[in-house]
Structure formats: C-alpha cells, structure tokens
Amino acid sequence: MATATTAVTSSSAPPAGLRESKKQETRQLISDHATRLFIAQGFEQTTIAEIAAAARVAKKTVTNYFPRKEDLALDHQDAFIASLAHTVAHRRPGESALTALRRAFTDAATAADPVAGFSGPDFARMIADSPTLTARLRDLHDLRESALATTLATTTDTPHDDITPRTAAALLGAVHRTLFQRIQDLTLADESPARITTTVTTEADLAFDLLEPSLGDYAVA
C-alpha cells in the first residue's frame, strides 16, 4: 500500500502520455531553433550553446535529445534510413520490390515529402554549403541501402551476406540517391515544388525502367 507521501508524488506526476507529448514539444522546439540558426549562420558556424540559448534550455538538454550536432539538422534521418526497407517489407501481394519502390517514390514526389528530398531552397542550400552535413547525408544513404539489403534478404529467404540482395539494394539505392540529389539540385535552382515533382516523376520512370530487365520479377510478395 502506498504511503501518503508516495500517493501525493504519484498523483502530482504528469501522465505518461502528457510527459511524452512535452518531450516531443521540447524536441521540436530545439530542432526548429537549430534549423533557423543553421540557415541564418551556417551549420559549422552555429554552436550548441547558441541553440540552447535560443530554445531556452540547457546545453545538456540539447545533447540529450540530439547526441550529434548533425542530428539537429537532419531530424528525419530515422525515417529516411528505414524508408526503402519499410516499403519493401509492406509491399502489396504480387508486387515486386522494384514496383513497390517505384510506386512509393511517385507518391512521395506527389506529396513533396521531405524524406524524399523536398526541403525548400534555404534548407537545401544549408546542406550543400556544409561539408559536415554533406558527408552525413552520404552516410545516411549508405545506411538506408544496408537496411534495404537486409530486408531483401529476409523477404527472399536468402543469407544476409549473399551477393544478390546486396546488389539489388545497391542498384535500387543508387536510383534513389540520384533522384534525391536531382530534387536538391532543382530546389537550389529555385524551381517550384510542382515543377520539381513533374520533372522527377518523369525521370524516375526512366531510371526505374533501366532496372526492370534485371529486377522486375525480383522479391515478389
């Protein structure tokens, strides 16, 4: 049985759902201030102390939510890494990995999804101007490709070190890298989101068509 003291402590603590909501609000607040400062000053030139001061939190709070400075700028990275593997794992019955990824990219381009590369000119310029963020983005592409290879191996009941899923993931990953960079380049050229969507959707069809002879029937659900 709880004592009077513990009962008061328990009743005064915020519910778990509220605590999680507050954590998400704090995380978003820090991320928003960091992005604003990165765009205004440059990624390399902005310090964690400046971000903490802008968000009115302690430096330790910033690093608790974002262990690395790059995480503050690339806060969709978990979704980015998992995106291709998730699409393949949840492909429709009778759908190949290639068909599922083609469909998902078209949907993402239509929605101007940030995970696909739609970020706006200021953000795209911030990435392009930062050697640190450019290098980190390459790492994220590698991690996404590796996650896709693992899922392809699992769904085809193939050993994870087999060359086939690794090669398929490399080919599919290369198309997505190319399309991601194409979106960034068009964004930096001040093309409108609608124009970018039209352009990359057409170019995606050409790119995916190149893989049809080798991967059109691979990893069919």
Res 14: pLDDT: 58
Instruction: Report yes or no: 116 and 105 within 8 Å, Cβ to Cβ.
Output: yes
Q: Which residue has the tokens 């903490």?
A: 52
Res 19: pLDDT: 84
Res 11: pLDDT: 46
Res 13: pLDDT: 54
Instruction: Delineate the domains of the chain, giving CATH numbers in brackets.
Output: 12-68 (1.10.10.60), 77-215 (1.10.357.10)
CA distance 118 to 140: 16
Instruction: Report yes or no: 217 and 164 within 8 Å, Cβ to Cβ.
Output: no
Res 165: pLDDT: 98
Res 110: pLDDT: 97
Kindly give, in sequence order, each residue whose CB lies less than 8 Å from that of residue 110, ignoring residues fewer than 6 positions away.
197, 201
Res 17: pLDDT: 80
Counting Cα atoms < 13 Å in the Cβ hemisphere of 80 gives 22
- Count of C-beta atoms within a 10 Å radius of residue 173: 20
What's the whole-model pTM score? Answer: 0.87
Render the chain in DSSP notation, one character per residue.
Answer: ---HHHHHHHHHSPPHHHHHHHHHHHHHHHHHHHHHHHHHH-TTT--HHHHHHHHTS-HHHHHHH-SSHHHHH-TTHHHHHHHHHHHHHTPPTT--HHHHHHHHHHHHHHTT-GGGT---HHHHHHHHT-HHHHHHHHHHHHHHHHHHHHHHHHHTT--TT-HHHHHHHHHHHHHHHHHHHHHHHHHHTT--HHHHHHHHHHHHHHHHHHHHHHHTTTT--
Res 20: pLDDT: 87
Res 75: pLDDT: 85
Q: What is the mean pLDDT of each run of 10 residues along the chain (221 residues)?
A: 37 68 93 96 96 96 95 93 98 97 97 94 96 97 98 96 96 98 97 96 98 97 91
